[in-house]
């Protein structure tokens, strides 16, 4: 009896799944999905070769320092980096005095009031501080950016699919709307105050192009700062902020795989030795 009930329940479940599938097929045939402008013109990120690709990949410290310079001089005016401390920059090759000098370029608000002026007290950042937000709060951030909230960049490359390539493509992807887009979707004109970018999910982005041309940043190491170079450098830097232990994780993975290979070989040799001369 129990088997019969179980069989009937399973049969009913299969029937419901089959019915749902057939109903979906019929609905798709009768009312095919209407193509949208996002589906037609959204582009996947361009694929770039990175030094940290692959199981043996490593960060290029010089590139990370250039990327930090791009963040400091371009991105930090709008975007926070709240999960990164100044002292973390030691991983990029900066010395303790250099980190101290970098931290002092940022000012943070103290949770106290200056008794002489009644204004919030401020101080220079120290190495143990995290990068402060460029805005006092979300309201101030939206007010300064036409209602849009600039995202924190600490984990942006993990929060977006194919993160490193996405950041590079987005920064270099600004362009005028294609004529064929407006011809096929006349109502999809980019609204005033937004910027067309085919690598963004809905094609229209509140952020203006952050990189306005070659030479916008003068690199300390003398590297030529083309728009593409700056985009690559900031994408690499933001990959590091999201995965600062990437190299350690890869080294651990390689060691574990090597151990498992050796263990497998030893186990096989032990098996051959134990069963040598035995009749099956």
Helix axes 227-242, 61-73, angle to 10 degrees: 100
- Does 78 appear as a known binding residue? yes
Compute the distance between CA of residue 38 and CA of residue 145 in angstroms, rounded to an integer. 24
- Does 79 appear as a known binding residue? yes
Q: Which residue has the tokens 């919030």?
A: 120
Say if CB 46 and CB 168 are below 8 A apart.
yes
Compute the distance between CA of residue 51 and CA of residue 61 in angstroms, rounded to an integer. 10
Compute the distance between CA of residue 252 and CA of residue 238 in angstroms, rounded to an integer. 22
- Does 75 appear as a known binding residue? yes
- Does 207 appear as a known binding residue? yes
Say if CB 120 and CB 113 are below 8 A apart.
yes
Burial (CB count <10 Å: 0-12, 13-18, 19+), residue 151: middle
Q: In 49-129, at which residue ranges do the beta strands (DSSP E only) sit?
A: 107-113, 120-124
User: What residues are designated binding site?
Assistant: 75, 78-79, 207
User: What residues are designated binding site for heme c?
Assistant: 75, 78-79, 207
């Amino acid at each position: 009896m129990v088997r019969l009930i179980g069989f009937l329940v399973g049969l009913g479940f299969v029937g419901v799944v089959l019915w749902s599938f057939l109903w979906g097929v019929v609905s798709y045939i009768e009312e095919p999905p209407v193509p949208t402008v996002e589906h037609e013109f959204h582009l996947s990120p361009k694929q770039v070769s990175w030094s940290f690709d692959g199981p043996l990949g490593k960060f290029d410290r010089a590139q990370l320092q250039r990327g930090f310079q791009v963040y400091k001089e371009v991105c930090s005016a709008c975007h926070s980096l709240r999960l990164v401390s100044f002292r973390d920059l030691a991983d990029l090759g900066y010395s303790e005095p250099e980190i101290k000098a970098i931290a002092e370029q940022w000012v943070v608000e103290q949770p106290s009031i200056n008794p002489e002026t009644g204004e919030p007290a401020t101080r220079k950042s120290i190495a143990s501080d995290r990068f402060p937000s460029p805005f006092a709060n979300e309201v101030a951030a939206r007010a300064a950016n036409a209602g849009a909230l600039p995202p924190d960049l600490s984990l942006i490359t993990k929060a977006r699919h194919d993160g490193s390539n996405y950041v590079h493509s987005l920064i270099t992807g600004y362009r005028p709307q294609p004529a064929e887009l407006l011809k096929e979707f006349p109502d999809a004109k980019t609204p005033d105050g937004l910027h067309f970018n085919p690598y963004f999910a809905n094609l229209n982005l509140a952020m203006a192009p952050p990189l306005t041309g070659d030479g916008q940043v003068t690199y300390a190491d003398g590297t030529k700062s083309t728009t593409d170079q700056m985009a690559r450098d900031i994408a690499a830097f933001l990959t590091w902020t999201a995965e600062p232990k990437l190299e350690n994780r890869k080294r651990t993975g390689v060691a574990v795989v090597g151990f498992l290979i050796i263990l497998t070989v030893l186990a096989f040799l032990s098996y051959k030795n134990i069963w040598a001369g035995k009749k099956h």
